[in-house]
Structure formats: structure tokens, C-alpha cells
């Protein structure tokens, strides 16, 4: 689709106002759509993070220090 800007010299003030309003409305709708896509992507990412737990994540829970003796792959301390 090829769009061409009308010759602004030929347009009346009212026609220019209508053109500006139409462009503004289309731009606003586009911004809303982009924002919704960004929010959906962020939501999906956050849900993925929330779904992880100590059983399906290779990272320990945040804020819990791990002892150097802790066996991460087996989720236990070595037998003494």
C-alpha cells in the first residue's frame, strides 16, 4: 500500500485539521497496540519467571545463601 501526502497547499484549513486529526488518531491507536504487545511480552516473561522453582531452575532462590559445601546438582549437602 502506497500512501502519499496530499498537497497541503491545495487543502483548506478545515481539511488540514481533519487530516491532522486522522493521523493523530491512527498514531494513538498504533501506540496503544505497540504498548499492548510490550505488556503481553513482559507478562509472559514474568509468568515464566514465577513458574520456576527450586525443582525446575538451575539457580538457587534469591536471598538464600548457598554454602560452598552444598551440592547444587543433587540439592543436598555432602554426606559427612
Which residue from 29, 66, 41 is spatially nearest to 58, judged by alpha carbons?
66
Q: Render pLDDT for 18-48 as a digit per residue (tens, 0 to 9).
A: 999 999 999 999 999 999 999 999 999 888 8
Structural domain boundaries, residue 20? 13-51
Tell me the C-alpha distance between 13 and 77, whole Å: 79
Which is more confident, 75 or 22? 22
Residue 72 has pLDDT above 90, yes or no: no
Task: Answer whether residue 31 is part of any domain.
Answer: yes
- Average pLDDT score over residue span 68-76: 61
Task: Answer whether residue 70 is part of any domain.
Answer: no
Backbone angles phi, psi at 36, to 5 degrees: -65, -40
Task: Answer whether residue 74 is part of any domain.
Answer: no
For residue 5, the model assigns a pLDDT of 84
The predicted model scores a pTM of 0.51
Task: Answer whether residue 67 is part of any domain.
Answer: no
**DSSP string covering 33-57, please?**
HHHHHHHHHHHHHHHHHHH--TTT-
Task: Answer whether residue 28 is part of any domain.
Answer: yes
Count of domains for the chain: 1
Task: Answer whether residue 21 is part of any domain.
Answer: yes
For residue 52, the model assigns a pLDDT of 75
Amino acid at each position: 500500500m502506497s500512501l502519499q501526502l496530499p498537497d497541503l497547499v491545495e487543502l483548506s484549513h478545515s481539511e488540514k485539521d481533519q487530516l491532522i486529526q486522522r493521523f493523530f488518531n491512527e498514531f494513538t491507536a498504533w501506540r496503544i497496540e505497540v504498548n499492548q504487545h510490550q505488556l503481553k511480552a513482559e507478562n509472559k516473561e514474568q509468568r515464566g519467571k514465577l513458574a520456576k522453582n527450586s525443582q525446575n531452575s538451575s539457580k538457587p532462590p534469591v536471598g538464600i545463601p548457598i554454602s560452598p559445601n552444598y551440592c547444587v546438582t543433587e540439592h543436598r549437602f555432602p554426606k559427612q
